[in-house]
Chain A
Amino acid sequence: MPETPPSAPGRQERLAALGGGVSRARAAAPAGASMATGPPAARAAGTDARASERGPAPLGAAEARMPAIIAHELTKRYGRALAVDRASFEIERGELVGFLGPNGAGKTTTLRMLAGLIRPTSGEGRVLDRRVPGPALRRVGTMIEEPSFYPYMTGRDNLRYAARLHGGVPERRIDEVLDFVKLDRASSKRVKAYSQGMRQRLGLARSLLWSPDVLLLDEPTNGLDPAGIAEIRENLREVAAEGVTVLVSSHILAEIEKLVGRILAIDHGKIVYDGPLDALVQRIDAGAVSFRLRATDGAALLAALRDFGLEPEPDGERGARVSAPAADADALVARLVRAGVDVTEADRTGEDLEGAYLRLIRGDGRPS
């Protein structure tokens, strides 16, 4: 069973209603709730679109209390190969959750099942309290693997096509999503002339076209340069801040670390961790934590770290990078201060998560 935080009331009853086993619940905590707000005009137009054409009726009170996504014992088998093995999790409305796993772990297959593109061998997926595949998918935006388009059409025409297919999306909504992903100037170019980054952004724009309540994104930053990654990350934060439920998969661990508050980790088709990001990082037994430190006296900093038995690397004139055992990590700065080093800056780096995650999937560092 995956590691999860303590149960929340109601989850067991919901899973029982689905006719299966029980795992622990999650508290809803939108990771992006305190971040930048989304584009109001875009959301307003999107509301119009949803109200007129989304298909199922607007959320009722009971539906609004249900998790946005429920995976219950989802299993997918291809012949003898087990791609996803009884994956169960819930994602509350407005949550921004990272879906982590190495290549071939089962991330994309799980997302495809939730998007109604492939049928589970057993188990069931529910989105917005409705079984998938089904009409609830009209309130879902997806970007599964590399976004695909008709290359002979312009970016705008690709969005027009999707808008017509979905129905009820006004032309101004297309302008808004293009503006949101900063593709308004390139929208009249044919997609075959787009760079990888532009295609990724156009894919995100399309997934937002009908103002979905749920976004399923499979490695949305794949192949992007750092600037592109930062842009997509900012876009996702804005979307999540508007209350959209986002499940985003990635194998770029540092990206997940900067974006989400909760991690679902999958390996060999099994959910191996389901919990807060901090817990994953902090509760690793005997794990190593990387630090970037700066002090008024760089030489004294390096000497003190070496005295502690560590192997620091100089980082500029007054800085150092060092990897410390997780058990000692919290006390490292205090020890440096006691040793007389005037520490001016101490950052844990993004490699923390990677180290924790690799230990997790190797099975030698699972959180207790």
Chain B
Amino acid sequence: MSAFWNVVAAETFKLVRKRRTYVLAGLWWLLLPSLALILGRVLVSNFAASFANEAGGVDLAVQTIASPYGIALIGVVGPAYVSPPFYVIVVAALAAVLIGEERSHGMWKTILVAQPSRLAVLAGKLVTAMLVVGVLLGGTLLSGVAFGAAGTLFLPTTFAGDWGGLLRTYLLQWAFTGAIVAFAFLMVHLARNVAVGLILVFFLPGLLETLYTVYATTVGFQPINRFNVFLQGIRLRQVLEDLPTYFFTANVYAPARAPVREVAAAFTAEAATEGLDLAGLLGSNITLERAAIVAGAYALLFLALLTWRFLRADID
């Protein structure tokens, strides 16, 4: 056990000495809350006294965007909706430092002599990544509250909000990020090159999912070719049609995307009449329980592959 904690201590020490850690924290902790406050101020300045606010719509929007609760919520929801998602960017950056850098700087030969237990080294690095993601998410929550509190001084906002639900969202998204950490570590380790590894982390899931979508759209799963006849024969057609609900990106951001479900639900009925799957587009139509199982399965698969490869790898 001490070997594991030694690795955690060493890797934490390294990340503290790494400038990139502070850049990531700065982006997450300062940029989004600042933008939210600026947007809130712009809304108040331009529309608070106008007819648009007769029913209190502008005040509601400012409360949603720039209140302490609103900014903290944006801090966890927003990163799931940028492309590539900010969670992947953060985790890929950590994987580059914790796994990729060891190869590019030739450090494995030092690390694995100082700490010969490869299992402890791998587990320590993974746990360090999760701890850092936790610190970054926790900091996001706190900075959101701090910026929002500052905003109450010059904006018509309050501290109202479902704080318990928000905390749960943060904790769940942190746990789900474990699957992304496992995936990023595996890709960076397999690629044997940090740049190639990062490209794989950013784009491989999206590429595979897009290829599936193209196939499903252009060919579909009707028995019009031998391939689909075969799939029907082995009773896989329905599974393939349901495949998007098992997609990596659809599941690992499920907690962060869940708050959007309510918004989506309000528009879904209307959108459905026009043949538009709004909830599907927003990725918010997967239940958290199911997403947890799928993300957990991904994490286990990636961890098993990573461990198998890492324990056997020759260090050249």
Contacts and interface: CB of A to CB of B under 8 A. Distances in A.
A165 B7 contact: yes
A134 interface: yes
A43 B117 CA distance: 26
B214 interface: no
B146 to A, nearest CB: 30
Interface string B122-161: 0000000000000000000000000000000000000000
A52 to B, nearest CB: 11
Contacts of A210: 114
Overall SS of chain A's interface: loop
B314 A148 contact: no
Interface string B93-122: 000000001000111111111111110000
Nearest to B12: A164
Interface stretch (B13-21, B40-48, B178-186): B13-21
Interface in A139-171: 140-142, 144-153, 157, 160-162, 164-167
Interface string A330-359: 000000000000000000000000000000
Contacts of A161: 10, 13-14
Contacts of A134: 116
A161 B111 CA distance: 10
A261 to B, nearest CB: 26
A148 B116 contact: no
Contact of B106 (A133, A137, A140, A148): A148
A206 interface: yes
A144 B2 contact: no
Q: Which of A116, A147, A164 has its CB near the most chain B CB atoms (within 10 A)?
A: A164
B242 interface: no
B166 to A, nearest CB: 35
A217 interface: no
A117 B113 contact: yes
Given A152-B18, A161-B13, A166 B314 contact: no
Q: Which of B18, B111, B115 has its CB near the most chain A CB atoms (within 10 A)?
A: B115
A151 B315 CA distance: 20
Contacts of A140: 113
A115 B101 contact: no
Interface in A71-85: none
Overall SS of chain B's interface: helix
Contact of B101 (A146, A147, A150, A157): A150
Contacts of A151: 105
A112 interface: yes
Contacts of B105: 148-151
Contacts of A164: 6, 9-10, 13
B110 A162 contact: yes
Nearest to A132: B116
Given A118-B316, A119-B312, A161-B14, A166 B110 contact: no
A138 interface: yes
A138 B106 CA distance: 19
A165 B17 contact: no
A142 B116 CA distance: 12
Nearest to B6: A167
Contacts of A116: 112-113, 116
A135 interface: yes
Interface of A: 53, 55, 112, 115-119, 133-135, 137-138, 140-142, 144-153, 157, 160-162, 164-167, 206, 210
21 contacts: A116-B116, A117-B108, A117-B314, A117-B315, A118-B315, A134-B116, A135-B116, A137-B112, A137-B113, A137-B116, A142-B110, A142-B113, A145-B106, A148-B106, A148-B109, A152-B17, A160-B13, A165-B111, A165-B114, A166-B115, A167-B115
Closest 4 CB pairs between A and B?
A148-B106, A164-B10, A165-B10, A117-B315
Interface of B: 2-3, 6-7, 9-10, 13-14, 17-19, 101, 105-118, 312, 314-316
